[in-house]
Amino acid sequence: MTQKSFHDQHVTQLSPKTEPTPNTQRESLAAEVRKLSFWYGETQALKEITLSIAYRKVTALIGPSGCGKSTLLRSFNRMHDLYAGNRYSGEICLFPENHNLIDLDPFMVRLRIGMVFQKPNPFPKSIFENVAAGLRIQGVQNKKLLSDRVEQALRDAALWEEVKDRLSQSAYGLSGGQQQRLCIARALAPQPEILLLDEPTSALDPIATAKVEDLITEIRHRFTVIIVTHNMQQAARISDFTAYMHLGKLIEFAPTGELFTTPQETLTRDYITGRFG
Amino acid sequence: MVNAEMSQATLPNLTGIVDANRRTDLVMAGIGISVLIVAMSLLAAVVIDLIVGGWPRLINPDFYLNFPSRHPLQAGIVSAWVGTILVMLVTAGIAIPLGVGAGVYLEEYAARNWITDFIEINVSNLAGVPSIIYGLLALGLFIHGFGLGETILTAGLVLALLILPVIIVSTREAIRGIPLDLREAAYGLGADKWQTVRLYVLPAARSGILTGTIVGLARAIGEAAPVITIGALTFIAFLPPSPIQSSPPFINFEWLESPFTIMPIQMFNWVSRPQAEFHINAAAAGVILMLMTLAMNGIAIWLRYHLRRQIR
Amino acid sequence: MRASESFLRRRALWGSFAGGCLLIAAASSVFVTLGIVYVLVTESMGFFAQIALLDFLTDTQWTPVFENAHFGVMTLVSATVTVAGIALAVSIPAGLALAIYLSEYARREVRETVKPCLELLEGVPTVVYGYFTLLFFTPLLQTFIPGLEGFNMLGPGMVMGIMILPYTASVSEDAMRAVPSGLREAGYALGYSRFRVAMRVVVPAAFSGITAAFILGMSRAVGETMVVAIAAGQNPNFSFNPTEGAATITAYIVQMAMGDLPHDSIAYQSVFAAGIVLFVITLTFNLIGFFLRRRFKEVY
């Protein structure tokens, strides 16, 4: 409840153009990355990244392939810990507690931070059970609570109207775009503190992409979202802040409008004007 | 001029090579197919030989309901098929949890180190240990070591150990076939390892594991050697106590400690007798035994191909 | 939303409990091996206390229940080797031809029909093959080979060769199909025929995998019990003559197990001594096969 008023206070105040750099806005942050480095075995994929994630805003990570944007995103819910030989140094602090999530148990981190992957990956179960999966994993058994949350999440993911009559059917019967929105609903149902989207529209056609973008715009006032995208127009359309990465380094981070209109770095300028990438 | 001469000299030669190639290819395919035909006709010969040989007994209902006897025409297989079913219950009850558990551990839990490597080599080697060696294990350890006796429990246990590698390997293959993104989806929601395995990995691998289990049990049903080694009696003129009883607690386990015989041993017993009349019984028992194993293998094969089509 | 503390504690507890159970299940396979080695060694210790290892390995008579008992295990080994040799002589050419056909010639639909049929062949209980060999195949062979005894090594060897065919063929075929198609295309680009590509490119490239298939097949033939126990006779006979009957190691074990031997008798212990020989032979083949296959998988 306190967070709600907290948010209301800031929503009018923060508009991308006039906003001061996010670093000074500590109390409005959902998380802060401090000097984060990451290694796949011997290969360093992230080099001392420092970045703030604004509370209930959309932050986009862009950059050419191999720049480390997905690696950074997957660090937020410690997906790298699933595979041997990966190593972090530095911090990702979650607010308001100011806990470094690199030091927390990865399974606990993932209970708090949701993720949607490049390719839709629903479970081979019913639509209802897919959305309820995260809640069941947290031990929720109350039927009423489950069905309320599932409905809410499906509404948030703009899928409710399409599936409300066939919640018990297999998720594999949905189209690709619907499956991806189902995965978003699945991630939203446990009400994560941060929602990670890893190129969520790269496997979708333009119409399905538009639907996903619309829903992100709808939920942005209630969830903190970090999105990796290789599509600059998408970043410009839906994000409040954009970070440009190159070869594992954070080159530039600014409110989206500024970054796209007046980039400060040559590398950023070259990338957004299409000289490479 | 020179070019023309060359092509005139080489062209017919080239066609010759191509023709010769085609001939060798034809011969090669012919050899492959004939090997196949020989193998399949062996299978057919086995089946026909058994059916023809055992026909007089096969069509006699007494054969299925009578106990073994010194008189070939009165001998039946009731104690053998009941014994086979009971032994298989024990085998399945032990081999499935152990095999699936080991497979899950090796695929999902084990770190890539020398211990895992050792377990892996060990499983692969166990798969190749002759079945009769398992019989010696049972004779030396279960019977003389633990004092379990020549019982259904001992037989079920030794056959379970025998098919353990089959179940472990097929569990691992089934789990390996599950796409990585399904696992990442589960972990991404905060599931811990056991939740991921129990809620998502095992249900998705269910049919693959089932297939491997059926193949393993089909092998166990047909195995005689390790059960002969434990000294299983071959003349059993009674049935083990029933696992189900009418008074509470409705289930009893006395049957585990009962002497028994099973189908392949009954068949071996009859085939080893000099009198040709018993060979008729052996053939008839063989038909029933083959029906059991072929049906199980058939189900497994159907499941596997059906599955593969589903995934595609 | 946060999961409740008590649920998380319970989850962690269940997680470690399940992990522990799974570890025990995985370790059980190691205990089986340990159990086998332990039993074979301890039960045959008494045997080797009485019979010199040199006699065991060089004597050519095996007469455990005679007054003047001899324990020359080579008697049993000779029959084992002869039967397995015949099986391989059938299985290598046939298995190779079948594998080449399936991997290089057959269309996918053919392959997918043939492989399940071969698996059915593998599913026939060995006691059934024993019956078939004794009462059908041997009499059939006797019409061609007049001197063939009723119990002989030729019939069981040949039937066993076909019996292990599905296994050797499918393992070799897997090895051949794992050869990258780029190598094949290189051959075809030179104008090679299918046969040449198979013999000059695919078979050499898959050689270690194919060798593994036959070594593992050999191990199966050596350890096979019921066919020889029924159809090759149970008379220990130092002989490499396939037309004679002779007891293999496995047949001897079956024969002794059927009699009721006192636990501490030398005859009882000799079963385990023979078992050790069998175990060592098959273990050697299995390990060679395992590492050949693994090396092959690493290459491609």
Which tens digits make up the pLDDT trace of A34-58?
999 999 988 999 999 999 999 999 9
Confidence of residue C265 (pLDDT cuts 50, 70, 90): confident
Tell whether A145 lies on the interface with C, counting CB pairs under 8 A.
Answer: no
Q: Is the pLDDT of residue B309 over 70?
A: no
Which chain B residues are within 8 Å of A190, Cβ to Cβ? 189-190
At C161 the three-state DSSP class reads helix
Contact C11 A108 (CB under 8 A): no
From the list C16, B101, B186, the residue with the least C-alpha distance to A82 is B186
Region A252-275 average pLDDT: 89
Give chains near B: 3+ CB pairs under 8 A: A, C
- Which CATH number applies to B62-311? 1.10.3720.10
**pLDDT tens sequence across B120-148:** 889 989 999 999 999 999 998 998 888 88
- Asked whether residue B151 carries a pLDDT value surpassing 50, the answer given is yes
Question: What percent of chain A lies above the pLDDT cut of 90?
Answer: 62
Residues 54-113 of B with CB under 8 A from C: 97-102, 104-106, 109-110
- What residues does each domain of chain C span? 5-50, 74-299
The CB-side HSE value for C258 (13 A sphere, CA atoms) comes to 15
Q: What mean pLDDT comes out for the span A51-76?
A: 92
DSSP state of B66: P
Q: What's the rounded Cα separation, in Å, for the pair C112 and C108?
A: 6
Contact C7 A138 (CB under 8 A): yes
User: How open is the CA angle C13-C19-C22, to the nearest 5 degrees?
Assistant: 140
Distance from CA of A136 to the nearest CA of C (A): 10
Q: Which residues of B touch A111 (CB under 8 A)?
A: 189-190
Bridge partner residues of A94 (DSSP): A31, A99
How far apart (Å, rounded) are the C-alpha atoms in residues C27 and C21?
Answer: 10
State which residue of chain C sits closest to A136, comparing Cα positions.
C3
pLDDT at residue number C294: 82
Burial of C95 from C-beta contacts in 10 A (0-12 / 13-18 / 19+) = buried
* Interchain contact, C8 vs A108, CB within 8 Å: yes
* Closest to C61 in 3D by CA, of C201, C235, C287, C220: C235
CB contact at 8 A, C104 and B23: no
- Shortest CB distance from C4 goes to which of A108, A139, A190? A139
Mean pLDDT for the stretch of residues C104-122: 84
Contact in structure between B255 and B86 (CB atoms under 8 Å): yes
Q: Residue A25: its pLDDT value, please?
A: 46
Q: Residues of B87-102 as b/e, b for ≥16 C-beta within 10 angstroms?
A: bbebbbebbbebbbbb
Nearest chain B residue to C254, by CA: B229
Identify the pLDDT of residue B9. 53
For residues C40 and B135, give the distance between their C-alpha atoms in angstroms, rounded to a whole number.
Answer: 11
Distances from the Cα of C113 to the Cαs of B229, B311, C15, in angstroms? Answer: 38, 18, 43
Ranking A201-205, B141-145, B238-242, C103-107 by mean pLDDT, the lowest is: B238-242
Q: Where are the alpha helices (DSSP H) in A189-228?
A: 206-219
The pLDDT of residue A51: 92
Q: Give the pLDDT of residue B11.
A: 60
Contact A107 B189 (CB under 8 A): no
Q: What is the mean pLDDT of residues B187-194?
A: 92
Q: Say which residue the tokens 């009400």 belong to.
A: A191
Coil vs helix vs strand at A67: coil
Q: Residue C82 above 90 pLDDT? A: yes
- pLDDT tens-digit series, residues C9-50: 899 999 999 999 999 999 999 999 999 999 999 988 888 888
Q: How far apart are the first and last CA of chain A?
A: 43
Please provide the DSSP assignment of A3-43 as one string: HHHHHHHHHHH--TTTPPPGGG-GGGEEEEEEEEEEEETTE
Q: Percentage of chain A surpassing pLDDT 70?
A: 89
Q: How far is A231 from A202, CA to CA, in rounded Å?
A: 9
Q: Is A114 on the interface with B (CB under 8 A)?
A: yes
pLDDT higher than threshold 80 for residue A24: no
User: How many secondary structure helices (H) and strands (E) does chain A include?
Assistant: 11, 10
Q: Return d(Cα B230, Cα B233) in angstroms, integer.
A: 9
Q: Is the confidence at residue C116, as pLDDT, over 50?
A: yes
Q: Do C15 and B110 make contact, defined as CB atoms within 8 angstroms?
A: no
- Indicate if the pLDDT at residue B158 is higher than 50: yes
Segments making up each domain of chain A, as ranges: 2-118+194-272
Length of chain C: 300
d(CA A264, CA A274): 16
Q: Which homologous superfamily is C74-299 in?
A: MetI-like (1.10.3720.10)
Q: Is the pLDDT of residue B6 over 80?
A: no
Question: For residue A14, what pLDDT is reported?
Answer: 37
Question: From residue C268, how far is each of A142, B143, B232, C264 by CA, in Å?
Answer: 65, 14, 16, 7
Would you say C120 and C130 are in contact if contact means Cβ atoms under 8 Å apart? no
Does residue A13 surpass a pLDDT of 70? no
Q: How far is C14 from chain A (nearest CA, A)?
A: 13
* Cα–Cα distance, B116 to C81 (Å, whole number): 34
Tokens of B90: 């024990």
Nearest residue on chain A to C11, judged by CA atoms?
A: A139
Whole-number pLDDT of residue B99: 96
CB atoms within 10 A of CB C4: 11
Q: How far is CA C65 from CA C68, C71, C78, C232, C261, in A?
A: 8, 10, 20, 20, 10
Contact criterion met (CB below 8 Å) for B285 and B182: no
Matching residue, tokens 């071996």: B268
Inter-chain CB proximity B33 and C124 less than 8 Å: no
Domain boundaries, chain B: 1-59, 62-311
Residue C204, preceding peptide bond in cis (omega within 30° of 0): no
**Would the pLDDT of A16 be above 60?**
no
Q: A226, A61 in Cβ contact below 8 A?
A: yes
Nearest CB neighbour to B189, from listed A119, A124, A133: A133
CB contact under 8 A, B49 and C132: yes
Strand partners, A60: A227, A242
Cα within 13 Å of Cα(C229), Cβ side: 29
**Structure-block tokens of residue A118:** 């490049």
The tens digit of pLDDT for each residue in A95-128 reads 878 888 898 888 888 999 999 999 999 998 899 9
CATH number given to A2-118+194-272: 3.40.50.300
The residues pairing with A99 across neighbouring beta strands, listed in sequence order, are A94
pLDDT tens for C167-186 read 999 889 988 988 888 888 88
ipTM field: 0.91
Q: What is the pLDDT of residue C79?
A: 93
d(CA C108, CA B45): 28
Q: Which helix (H) or strand (E) covers residue A196, if one does?
A: strand A194-198
pLDDT band at B19 (very low <50, low <70, confident <90, very high): confident
Instruction: Tell me which residue has tokens 């299925």.
Output: B64
* Structural contact between residues A120 and A63, judged by C-beta atoms closer than 8 angstroms: no
Which phi-psi region, left, alpha or beta, contains residue B192 (left: φ > 0; alpha: ψ -120 to 50)? beta
SS3 B254: helix
Alpha-carbon torsion (A23, A25, A27, A31), positive or negative: negative
- Amino acid type, B60: N
pLDDT in tens, B159-184: 999 999 999 999 999 999 898 889 99
Task: Find the mean pLDDT for residues B22-44.
Answer: 87
Contact status, residue B54 vs residue B285, Cβ threshold 8 Å? yes
Per-residue pLDDT for A216 more than 90?
yes
CA distances from C111 to C85, C118, C120, C156, C176 (A): 29, 10, 14, 29, 14
- Give contacts of A186 with chain B, Cβ < 8 Å: 185, 189
Q: C132-136 contacts: CB < 8 A, separation 24 or more?
A: C132/B45, C132/B46, C132/B49, C132/B50, C132/C159, C133/C159, C133/C227, C133/C230, C133/C231, C134/B271, C134/C230, C134/C231, C135/B49, C135/B53, C135/B271, C135/B279, C136/B45, C136/B46, C136/B49
Q: How far apart are the first and last CA of chain C?
A: 48
C278: pLDDT strictly greater than 80 = yes
